[in-house]
Each structure stands twice: as structure tokens, then as C-alpha cells.
């Protein structure tokens, strides 16, 4: 858990993982519009194909996507390992 920077998502195995407000969140690296991969521009997630934008909570900011990013379940073990269920 210490390896995940606060407020800066990291991409691992097609999953974006971010630590915010003391919690770990994870999102599938695909836009909800047509499934294109996402980029992180330092502030928001952006669809590489059609430009949909999502905030760090995965909420849609701008379309053509109509839905938020797919949130994934995160499990933290007692020894602070992070596992994401896809």
C-alpha cells in the first residue's frame, strides 16, 4: 500500500489503482463508451480514442461515454498487500 502514491494513479495489468482520502480505488483501463484504453494526463483519465473524460473517482466528466468507469473491488491484506478483483 505504501507503493501507491496519493492522488496519482498507477497502471498495472490493465487496471488503474489510486490512493485518495486514505482509501485505495481501482478502475478497469477501458472507456465505457467503446472500450478504448485510457490515459492519465496528470489531472483526469482521458479516452485515447474519442476523448471521454473521467475524474479520479471514475465519474464521467465529458462524453461521448455516458457512464462512469468500471470500479473494481479492492482487498488489502493485514500485511498491506493490495489485491484487485477483476
- Integer Cα distance of 7 and 19 in angstroms: 6
The pLDDT tens digits for 39-57 are: 999 999 999 999 999 999 9
Give the three cell numbers for residue 51: 476523448
Domain residue spans in the chain? 10-85
User: Quick one: average pLDDT of 22-43?
Assistant: 95
pTM, two decimals, is: 0.87
pLDDT score at 22: 84
pLDDT score at 2: 59
User: Mean pLDDT for the chain?
Assistant: 91
- Just give the CATH number of 10-85: 2.102.10.10
The upper half-sphere exposure of residue 15, i.e. CA atoms within 13 Å in the direction of its Cβ, equals 18
Is the per-residue pLDDT at 1 higher than 60?
Answer: no
Q: 75-86 b/e with 16+ CB inside 10 Å = b?
A: eeeeeeebebee
Amino acid at each position: 500500500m505504501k507503493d501507491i502514491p496519493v492522488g496519482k494513479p498507477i497502471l498495472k495489468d490493465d487496471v488503474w489503482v489510486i490512493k485518495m482520502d486514505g482509501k485505495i480505488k481501482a478502475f478497469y483501463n477501458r472507456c465505457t463508451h467503446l472500450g478504448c484504453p485510457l490515459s492519465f494526463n496528470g489531472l483526469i483519465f482521458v479516452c485515447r480514442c474519442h476523448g471521454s473524460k473521467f475524474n479520479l473517482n471514475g465519474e464521467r466528466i465529458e462524453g461521448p461515454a455516458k457512464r462512469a468507469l468500471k470500479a473494481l473491488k479492492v482487498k488489502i491484506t493485514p500485511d498491506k498487500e493490495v489485491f484487485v478483483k477483476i
